[in-house]
Amino acid sequence: MQSAYEESWLQFYHPIVRQLGFAIASPNILCALPSDLLLTHTFQLHSDEIWQQHFEDYLPRLRELDVNPTPLLEFVAQLKSTRLGLRFEMLIWFWLQDNAYHPYQLLGHSIQIIEGAKTLGELDFLIYHRDFKRIEHWEIALKYYLAEADYRFEHWYGLNRSDRLARKMLHFTEKQFQFQQALQHDIEARFCMLKGQLYLPQNMQHALPAWVNPARRIGHWGHQQPDQSLGYYRLQRHEWICANSQPSSETAQWWTDGLYKQQFHQHYYMFRQAPYLMRVNA
């Protein structure tokens, strides 16, 4: 893995602006669709260069918000849920409405497709791309997947083991991108925005799959507590999107499940309690 990453969102001070900067500038966790994914309905991933350009175009607005984040705070405060994925969606929604800074016109958000009494599905965003003069359907997700076994496509798990990367990608191609029309518009392009972070098992080395994006920082996970002298502290839930500029808790003296970061380095460690049988047999 490379040691230097472009993480331009870390220049901001206010936590919510850092999170918005991450939502825009961070690369997708995948740089390509895995060859093991059987496509029912095709879709694309935006390139890293596109996200970096969007960030550069939005930089003046981000700097304004870092001085006065009130409009962003008030917008996100409409969300009553604590779910990170919904918070991430609100951040993207805020950015898309600032259409002086990008080539998109937002046509709709959370659009339900209904047939008779049955809801067939819901589109995250319907967008008109002014430069390309086309209608785009975007699905977005913020995900944290932990690699197991030999890092193959089917061996990446979320914090809830029913949430697997393979299952999520299959849901995209079979369900979420099935629609040809929305709001009386023909859909001409489909994009998946899949951001977050991947984690490799501690002390287990395999070759990374070609579809893992090398431009996105990768963390580690394990059942062992790192050396306390390394200065790990536990991140608050919203900091999983982007850590605050200053530590939000004391250096960890005892460990619970969650995401930890080294105080003076961008090193991330997902600690998981060892299964009971593993503890008994240790």
Tens-place pLDDT, residues 19-61? 999 999 999 999 999 999 999 999 999 999 999 999 999 999 9
The number of folded domains in the chain is: 1
- The answer to whether residue 107 is domain-embedded is yes
For 86-92, what is the mean pLDDT? 98
- The answer to whether residue 252 is domain-embedded is no
- The answer to whether residue 215 is domain-embedded is no
How far apart are the C-alpha atoms of 53 and 45, rounded to whole Å? 15
What's the predicted TM-score (pTM) here?
0.94
pLDDT at 4 over 80: no
Single out the residue of 38, 47, 42 nearest to residue 153, CA to CA: 38
For 9-20, what is the mean pLDDT? 98
Predicted local confidence at residue 276, as pLDDT: 55
- The answer to whether residue 169 is domain-embedded is yes
pLDDT at 279 over 80: no
- The answer to whether residue 231 is domain-embedded is no
Instruction: Convert the pLDDT of each residue in 151-163 to its tens digit.
Output: 999 999 999 999 9
- The answer to whether residue 205 is domain-embedded is yes
- The answer to whether residue 276 is domain-embedded is no
Strand runs labelled E in 130-188: 134-147, 156-157, 181-182, 185-186
- The answer to whether residue 62 is domain-embedded is yes
Predicted local confidence at residue 1, as pLDDT: 43
Could you tell me the two tokens for 70? Answer: 């009130």
**Side chain identity at residue 51, one-letter code:** W
Instruction: Convert the pLDDT of each residue in 114-150 to its tens digit.
Output: 888 888 999 999 999 999 999 999 999 999 999 999 9
Predicted local confidence at residue 119, as pLDDT: 87
Domain ranges, residue 174: 14-209
Single out the residue of 258, 137, 138 nearest to residue 187, CA to CA: 137
